[in-house]
Amino acid sequence: MSSRETQLIQATTLLKEKEEHVEIMQHELNDSKLKFSEAETVVERIVELTNKLVISIKDEDYMSSPFGNMEHKLQQHLLEKPT
């Protein structure tokens, strides 16, 4: 086998190894993108639930205050139909 053929075989082998490495890296990149997307969805859900909790706590604090409770009773009274 000539030196030229040997070099060609070595170059072909090296290219195949590089291609396999690129495929592995592409798979890892796709996996990372999927995990990022899942994490982003979880964070968005946590934000939504946190906002609901904060609003709920604020409403409870407002309703437990004397002014808030009186205002709530007044609103209920005004919404009641006269008999």
Look at residue 59 in the predicted model and tell me its pLDDT.
78
Q: CB of 32 within 8 A of CB of 26?
A: no
Look at residue 38 in the predicted model and tell me its pLDDT.
98
Angle at CA 73, nearest 5°, toward 72 and 76? 90
Look at residue 29 in the predicted model and tell me its pLDDT.
98
pTM for the model: 0.56
Distance in Å from the first CA to the final CA of the chain: 109
pLDDT tens per residue across all 83 residues of the chain: 799 999 999 999 999 999 999 999 999 999 999 999 999 999 999 999 999 999 988 877 766 666 656 666 666 766 776 65
Q: Where are the domains of the chain?
A: 3-79
